[in-house]
Amino acid sequence: MRYLPLLVLAFALLGCSERTERIENKLNAYVQEDLKFIVAQTIHASGDRSGILDTPYYRVKDFRLFAGDTAAVYSAYAEVDFFIYQDISMHEKRKYRYDAHARQWDRYYKALKYGQDSLSGKEKQE
């Protein structure tokens, strides 16, 4: 019984935060799966792969970590653009938030946007 307060404190400290690197790695894995799904869904809907880029890619446009009261529920935010179309100046924008309690990313917004990749001449993420 006398070790109970120490045990509770240890669990509280371990459960409060997660390393930034681990949060980013989870985001990259989640976004890779989203990219595969978007491509597969588009191919399924059109019946062929002719309008899809040879190497579809995504770009993380915004990544933020939260602190204080905001981080109690969501500890990170990311905005990602997916580029899959070959001849259409359109991309899909998705927004994600990292649930601090569930320790996983949650997609809460997705929309098609007109326009090309503003960094198309630079290195692309795959």
What is the Cα–Cα distance from 11 to 9, expressed in whole angstroms?
6
Q: Across the strands, what pairs with 60?
A: 80
Cα dihedral 98→101→103→105 (10° resolution): -30
Query: Encoding tokens for residue 77?
Result: 């935010």
Residue 60 has pLDDT above 70, yes or no: yes
Q: Is the pTM of this model over 0.75?
A: yes
Residue 1 has pLDDT above 60, yes or no: no
What is the Cα–Cα distance from 70 to 77, expressed in whole angstroms?
11
Q: What is the pLDDT of residue 111?
A: 97
